[in-house]
A and B are shown apart, each in its own frame.
Chain A
């Protein structure tokens, strides 16, 4: 297993945003996470990346207990992430965004990272705009930059947070193709997404969250057919 969460809980005062979450992710898997807004999906990502610390439970990455490890340590171990609302380093260029991620995420010298950054920029269709200031990018390019910057950290586990949200059908298709190619190279992916057709075209399993609790996990067809999921997530009366 690359990632294991055991009874992980997180509360903000009386509000429980993660409630005894237990899940294991094998190396090389693509796992999708769905759930209504406010279900605790992004919080779960923050707990995995170390941007938040769990109140209870245990998180293991590559067999090591990282429950209390800070975010930067987890990045260096191989946890890369994108944010739901793109958060580029706006004053830096696209290339400098990647260079920062590569130099600090992997801990190497800048000069050694140049070719790899260029390769990632090409793969995410940002090479043409490498020297553009990130603050000047369109939404699609900002989403691409989120993905590219996460890849530049050299992740073994890639966490994608609603990366297809707000894109047109054509843009979404292109992004899905890129994510598929990354997954095909063996990178483990956990992907939170509301664009279900994009998500289910990539992931092997789906996990459903509601009020911070796991209410289902399994093959996408199975999950989408489940009565509980249709009631809670899709809002359908069954």
Chain B
């Protein structure tokens, strides 16, 4: 008599249009300029980081301000694979995920003993300590950093095929490869998070976010769940870091562990887009990119404007811009809510 459904009309539209978008995005380098490909690479990598942070904070209640630790260690691990082990840069990217996963174990061990704001500050402190330690790594340039060797950047796996396919120079072919890898990563991360939210673990995550004691009282293994989410998020962040610095081919502790670039901007994207939704970071990254482009010439006014916008959105639209849209139109492109249908049930969500 009673049925459970997650189906929405907008969700059906997403299911049909998402594969079309992905195919179009794959084919884009055939017609787009190098500048557009680089901009899209930036958007995709920031979107990946935003979706991961949203999983941690918006769904898991783990407000980390230390995600730059995993970006940085992932990037440095990829550089170590190339410079110290002589690996091809593309094959060294998984090392970034692995290194971030390994770093996440002691980070979680200490940070999970802290709650709320203390957890946030604790993760930031651990990220700073990691940055200082990596800056001592002389083989990778110490505090000033290093670049990928010329022989490594000229022989990146797949770039020859891309050069032949699109008739591009070596650097442009590397950008296309990085763009495709970023596209694959964002699809995997967003798809993975969506799958997670629709599984029973999604319910458990929301329960832990809302109330840890109550979650335990209904049988959720809150400790294991928080560990799993934190480790998965760290590994994906490490992969993204490795990819970002594969594209730039240059690394330094200051750039790889930058709290503004890899955490503050990411939090801005999630907050203005809408925390706790998959759609929020997608909208947020577009707004962020538009503001970044428009305010690029205004120096520190750029960051002050971002901060001001974030404060205004938090005050007047705490669920972000997507929250405003969803509350007015009931639009859910990635529906994960379970609705009960049957007799005697009134509206609700």
A129 touches B211 (CB 8 A): no
Alpha-carbon gap, A89 to B220, bound state (A): 13
Alpha-carbon gap, A101 to B217, bound state (A): 8
Counting chain B residues whose Cβ lies within 8 A of the other chain, the interface size class is 20 to 34
B218 touches A100 (CB 8 A): yes
- Given known contacts A89-B207, A118-B340, A131-B345, A75 and B219 CB-to-CB distance under 8 angstroms: yes
Other-chain residue from A95, A107, A117, A121 in contact with B219 (beta carbon distance below 8 A):
A107
B204 touches A104 (CB 8 A): yes
Q: CB of A171 within 8 A of chain B?
A: no
Counting chain A residues whose Cβ lies within 8 A of the other chain, the interface size class is 35 or more
B213 touches A51 (CB 8 A): yes
A87 CB to closest chain B CB (Å) equals: 4
Q: CB of A76 within 8 A of chain B?
A: yes
Within 8 A of B (CB), among A184-206: none
Within 8 A of A (CB), among B208-253: 209-211, 213-222
A114 touches B3 (CB 8 A): yes
Q: CB of A219 within 8 A of chain B?
A: no
Other-chain residue from B3, B207, B349 in contact with A93 (beta carbon distance below 8 A):
B349
Alpha-carbon gap, A144 to B145, bound state (A): 60
Other-chain residue from B3, B4, B218, B345 in contact with A101 (beta carbon distance below 8 A):
B218
Task: Report B-chain residues with C-beta under 8 Å of the C-beta of A99.
Answer: 4, 203, 338
Interface readout for B266-296 with A: 1 if CB under 8 Å, 0 if not? 0000000000100000000000000000000
Alpha-carbon gap, A150 to B209, bound state (A): 19
A100 touches B204 (CB 8 A): yes
A87 touches B339 (CB 8 A): no
Alpha-carbon gap, A152 to B218, bound state (A): 9
A133 touches B342 (CB 8 A): no
- Given known contacts A100-B207, A127-B345, A128-B345, A111 and B219 CB-to-CB distance under 8 angstroms: no
Other-chain residue from A121, A131, A149 in contact with B218 (beta carbon distance below 8 A):
A149
Task: Report B-chain residues with C-beta under 8 Å of the C-beta of A83.
Answer: 213-214, 217
A132 touches B348 (CB 8 A): yes
Task: Name which residue of chain A comes closest to B4, CB basis.
Answer: A114
B160 CB to closest chain A CB (Å) equals: 49
Interface readout for A140-159 with B: 1 if CB under 8 Å, 0 if not? 00000000011011000000
Q: CB of A231 within 8 A of chain B?
A: no
B219 touches A101 (CB 8 A): yes
Alpha-carbon gap, A226 to B4, bound state (A): 53
A92 touches B344 (CB 8 A): no
B344 touches A128 (CB 8 A): yes
A42 CB to closest chain B CB (Å) equals: 12
A51 touches B217 (CB 8 A): yes
The residue in B1, B4, B339 that gathers the most chain A C-beta atoms within 10 A of its C-beta is B4
Other-chain residue from B217, B220, B221, B348 in contact with A131 (beta carbon distance below 8 A):
B348
Alpha-carbon gap, A127 to B349, bound state (A): 14
A132 touches B349 (CB 8 A): yes
Which 8 A-B pairs have CB atoms at the shortest separation, nearest pair first?
Answer: A131-B348, A104-B219, A101-B218, A75-B219, A118-B2, A89-B210, A87-B214, A105-B219
Q: Which residues of A line the B interface, CB within 8 A?
A: 49-51, 70-72, 75-76, 80-81, 83, 87-96, 99-101, 103-107, 109-111, 114-115, 117-118, 121-122, 127-133, 149-150, 152-153
Q: A76-B219, A101-B218 are in contact. List 6 more A-B contacts (CB 8 A).
A: A71-B217, A75-B216, A91-B210, A104-B204, A128-B344, A129-B346
Q: Which residues of B line the A interface, CB within 8 A?
A: 1-4, 200, 203-204, 206-207, 209-211, 213-222, 276, 337-340, 342, 344-349
